[in-house]
Structure 1
């Protein structure tokens, strides 16, 4: 029987125009907070709330660096730092992995920032695999399950992963583990029925990562075949919550094909998944056939392992609050044009913002 876990999260409203324009949104309460529910053994509930994460997890990750001695990774905290995971592509779309620190230039709200630390290595990841278990996913379960396991097999051996399935609400089928057999067993709990609560699942999973993850790098892999029709929150709230946490890079796989595909719903679902990915530095994939999903899992695993990690201390104090737009350029001899993919912005922790009116509208 599925038993509830007390994992509180905050839904803070953000207008659709603000997401598109990368400006600071108005904040406000948004009703019941989504949470993760256990489908297996109970997971101990964390103490405190989402605004003050426990120190047992990775609450300080946005202000952290990673040091490695031998095979051990150690998290070092520097107050006020922002960390970016960045993928660099050349003009032909090929990944570039030979750049040094001097090739990168970071801007926050258009103001140049000083890079405090720079790394290019395969850092271990804490990741959540989020599988749509709505009724329409019934015939896709086997292929999605296989791709999910292949994704984990191709990841860093020191990665940890948890498995969530969601329909009307999200359920944890397997807590954090590095054991592929436990994840495989967790997939047996995924049953196809009900609606599709994408936004609630993103918020609850990002908050769960912030509280419980042990690795310095966070990723969510979302696999769905439709549009959100069951969340109590909005797309804007989901994106803002991730940005407030300086949270996970989101990769989306939209299985938006088939004879019963609703073209209008499919277009909206594509926009939603693309926005989730672009705002967090990830990618959205839209395969034309189910047999392409496994190859996409390979691409995502490879992308994660090839990223640069860049940290800087913002020149604008966190206490001033407001959404911060981030842009990274890369220039190097031998390359005529380089593009950098990373998260587009964040909300600083410890900010003191004036009260604002609740934003209207939802997706």
Structure 2
């Protein structure tokens, strides 16, 4: 992530506020106690002790990139060293300033659940797997999760919280939303059974709108030094909304959110758009999964959990320090020839947006 870094000699207690969420059609009111910032002590000549997971603040721009590595059998590799990799920005080598294994940073996670007509028969299994995943992953003292359901519009079922009881209730109340006149089995009152021509109008789905607003309004304001991720449960078939796939990718990159796309849907409604789900996952540094049954769905969640526990963090100071708001491509390469021969695959977000110049 880009951080404006200044040399500091003291710590300032962080102030966290529960932000009101704008843009959702139905929002559950969330109230959290906010801590008032502590008074800043007078600087002294004694340098502050920097913990292992602290980022030393200097007067420059820094880019942080999370990544995972897998061998040819898709087993996660957890013993890489800094010398094993190199990083490029717009094809130019960059100097690595920090490298950490198995990052233990706090996690801000959003679970997006498609409740359109194509999810009628798969939704119960999705909800059960999601609850089991959260019970295994969420650390009450570090992590926070939001739950969003969507069809043609998005609903914030639960704002960011580490309270598992609230998260269970939020997921439990997510329900399939039938289109007007729907009587089940793909049949709309007054029409023949849904066909390849009319099935897509039997309930609109604005996937990219939901990802865009989640990235911008929920994950974007998350505290610094926080991993941000989205788990998308959908068939990937976008039928409405103002945002395009590339808009959703751009919003996720700006929020530095990794997207794990879990492609689930009913073959009766055309199945899963693997191309779109794979693209949004790959561009943001996540992975796409296409489970065929409940067992594979739970396995997909298990793999997501394992990846989150096996991430590396790499930081570098871009050689191009221009604040022009431009998109810059990131590439992490293997410098270790043996790892190259072993066909090790590195997964990371494929770029970021530089900060824009401040208006005077």
TM-score > 0.5, shorter chain as reference: yes
For residue 145 of structure 1, what is the aligned residue in structure 2? 127
- Of 227, 245, 250 in structure 1, the residue corresponding to residue 237 of structure 2 is 227
| Pairing 1:88–2:69 present | yes
For residue 43 of structure 2, what is the aligned residue in structure 1? none
Q: Is the 8 A contact 2:115 2:176 kept in 1?
A: yes
Tell me the C-alpha RMSD between the 2 structures. Answer: 2.6
- Of 340, 353, 363 in structure 1, the residue corresponding to residue 346 of structure 2 is 340
CA drift at 1:149: 1.4
2:165 and 2:228 map into 1 onto residues whose CA distance is 22
SS in 1 for 2:147: strand
CA drift at 1:156: 5.0
SS in 1 for 2:239: coil
| Pairing 1:282–2:286 present | yes
Task: Give CA deviations for 1:233-254 in whole Å, capped at 9, x if unaligned.
Answer: 1111111222233x20000011
Unaligned runs of 5+ in 2: 1-18, 38-49, 178-202
Tell me the matched-pair count: 293
CA drift at 1:225: 2.6
1:145 and 1:206 map into 2 onto residues whose CA distance is 22
Q: Is the 8 A contact 1:277 1:283 kept in 2?
A: yes
2:232 and 2:51 map into 1 onto residues whose CA distance is 30
- Of 264, 283, 286 in structure 2, the residue corresponding to residue 255 of structure 1 is 264
SS in 1 for 2:168: helix
Task: Give CA deviations for 1:175-223 in whole Å, capped at 9, x if unaligned.
Answer: 1122222111011331211421110111111112111457611000000
For residue 80 of structure 2, what is the aligned residue in structure 1? 99
- Of 344, 350, 360 in structure 1, the residue corresponding to residue 356 of structure 2 is 350
- Of 282, 290, 295 in structure 2, the residue corresponding to residue 291 of structure 1 is 295
Aligned positions of 1:35-74 closer than 5 A: 35-42=23-30, 68=51
For residue 219 of structure 2, what is the aligned residue in structure 1? 209
SS in 2 for 1:219: strand
Distance 1:129 1:330, change over 3 A: same
Q: Is the 8 A contact 2:209 2:243 kept in 1?
A: yes
- Of 216, 233, 247 in structure 2, the residue corresponding to residue 237 of structure 1 is 247
SS in 2 for 1:139: coil
CA drift at 1:99: 1.0
Structure number with greater Rg is: 2
List 4+ stretches of structure 1 deviating above 3 A.
5-8, 36-39, 73-79, 212-215, 331-335
Distance 1:331 1:177, change over 3 A: same
- Of 104, 107, 116 in structure 2, the residue corresponding to residue 125 of structure 1 is 107
SS in 2 for 1:206: helix
For residue 111 of structure 1, what is the aligned residue in structure 2? 92
Q: Which moved more, 1:149-158 or 1:128-137?
A: 149-158
SS in 2 for 1:319: coil
Unaligned runs of 5+ in 1: 9-34, 45-54, 56-66, 353-363
For residue 183 of structure 1, what is the aligned residue in structure 2? 167
Distance 1:319 1:39, change over 3 A: closer
Distance 1:161 1:75, change over 3 A: farther
Q: Is the 8 A contact 1:80 1:318 kept in 2?
A: no
For residue 322 of structure 2, what is the aligned residue in structure 1? 318
CA drift at 1:130: 0.5
